[in-house]
Amino acid sequence: MTSDQTPPLPRIVALHDHGHADDRIALTHEDRLLRRKRLRAASGLEFLADFPKATELQAGAVLVLSTGDHVQVVAAPEPLLEVRGDLPRLAWHIGNRHAPCEIRADALRIRHDHVMADMLRRLGAVLLEIDAPFTPEGGAYGHGRTFGHDHGAHGHSHD
């Protein structure tokens, strides 16, 4: 490396479910799914995620960098709708549209979306616009996100 070249960015070399961290990075739900991306921790430390395939970083996970630094993933606040009312019925309608949903004891949380808000209000939901971390349920057939679905030979329309 010559003096006019910048050193390479540290890379993520390991990912742990939890543990001690020296720094943190706040990412939205959408930003926690990545394959290759330049990231910046709260301290300003820049590093590179370069996973072999798209990887979901769970809130609380710890990224181990090639420098030995440990960076904890934090769910960043983002615009959400908190949904209250007949939760089983409302959850069914949200799920039928394959929208990510965080299930809480007294409410459901979804990304802020005016079309979903209109539908939910017509179903009798009470909605509150909030900014909060978003950690929706994972897929039904494993952990993490689902990337679509297949209904086999007897599919249905989502129109």
Domain spans, the chain = 12-75, 78-133
17 bridge partner residues: none
Question: What CATH number labels 78-133?
Answer: 3.30.70.790
Per-residue pLDDT reduced to its tens digit, 81-129: 999 999 999 999 999 999 999 999 999 999 999 999 999 999 999 999 9
Per-residue pLDDT reduced to its tens digit, 18-30: 999 999 999 999 9
Would strands 23-27 and 70-75 be described as parallel, antiparallel, or unpaired?
Answer: parallel
Cα dihedral 47, 27, 137, 16 sign:
positive
pLDDT-derived band at 143, boundaries 50, 70, 90: low
Question: What CATH number labels 12-75?
Answer: 2.60.260.20
